[in-house]
């Protein structure tokens, strides 16, 4: 059996992979913070945010978990140079879209807490799309196996 050809991975790949992991770990921290809120924490929120938490269906919380943990696993897979990183990022992106689809499409969060509430979720969606693209491009270039 012939030895596999070693593909040199550029330094910027590693920079992107580490930044992706840090980004995804911030998402995990935000999720843990959200699901461990006490009644006192909830009471301290503005009325609009309390209303959103009170009406959030369990499937949205599940989508949130899938988004952040799937993304974190995808970033770890990037660092391990595994091509299944792309599938994890796709799952994470779909979960992000479902989560924010409820928040802004059904619950109309932007009407409750203000239009500025759309900015950070839009950034999250864009980064999710970028990570799907990056992992696909990395696979095509032979950086992931």
Number of structural domains (the chain) is 1
User: How would DSSP label each residue in 49-88?
Assistant: HHHHHHH--HHHHHHHHHHHHHHHHHHHHHHTT-TTHHHH
* Residue 31 pLDDT > 60: yes
* Residue 25 pLDDT > 80: yes
In a domain, 18, yes or no: no
In a domain, 9, yes or no: no
In a domain, 36, yes or no: yes
Residues 48-96: tens digit of each pLDDT: 888 888 889 999 999 999 999 999 999 999 999 999 999 999 999 999 9
DSSP class of residue 117 equals G
In a domain, 101, yes or no: yes
Query: 70: domain range?
Result: 24-140
In a domain, 1, yes or no: no
Query: 54 or 9, which is more confident?
Result: 9
In a domain, 91, yes or no: yes
* Residue 1 pLDDT > 60: no
Instruction: Work out the burial of residue 99: count CB atoms within 10 Å of its CB; fewer than 13 is exposed, 13-18 middle, 19 or more buried.
Output: buried
Q: Does residue 128 sit in helix, strand or coil?
A: helix
What tokens appear for 86 in the block?
Answer: 């792309």
CA angle 6, 134, 5 (to 5 degrees): 10
Residues 94-144: tens digit of each pLDDT: 999 999 999 888 878 888 877 788 899 999 999 999 999 999 999 999 999
Q: What is the pLDDT of residue 4?
A: 57
* Residue 46 pLDDT > 80: yes
Q: What is the pLDDT of residue 2?
A: 44
Question: Residue 145, Cα to own-chain centre: how many angstroms?
Answer: 23
In a domain, 3, yes or no: no
């Amino acid at each position: 059996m012939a030895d596999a050809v070693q593909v040199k991975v550029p330094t910027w790949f590693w920079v992107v992979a580490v930044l992706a992991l840090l980004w995804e770990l911030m998402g995990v921290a935000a999720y843990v913070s959200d699901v461990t809120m006490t009644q006192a924490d909830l009471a301290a929120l503005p009325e609009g945010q309390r209303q959103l938490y009170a009406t959030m269906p369990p499937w949205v919380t599940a989508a949130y978990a899938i988004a952040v943990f799937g993304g974190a696993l995808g970033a770890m897979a990037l660092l391990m140079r595994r091509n299944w990183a792309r599938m994890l990022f796709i799952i994470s992106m779909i979960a992000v879209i479902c989560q924010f689809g409820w928040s802004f499409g059904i619950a109309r969060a932007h009407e409750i807490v203000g239009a500025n509430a759309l900015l950070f979720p839009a950034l999250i969606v864009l980064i999710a799309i970028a990570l799907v693209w990056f992992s696909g491009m990395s696979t095509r270039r032979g950086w992931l196996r």
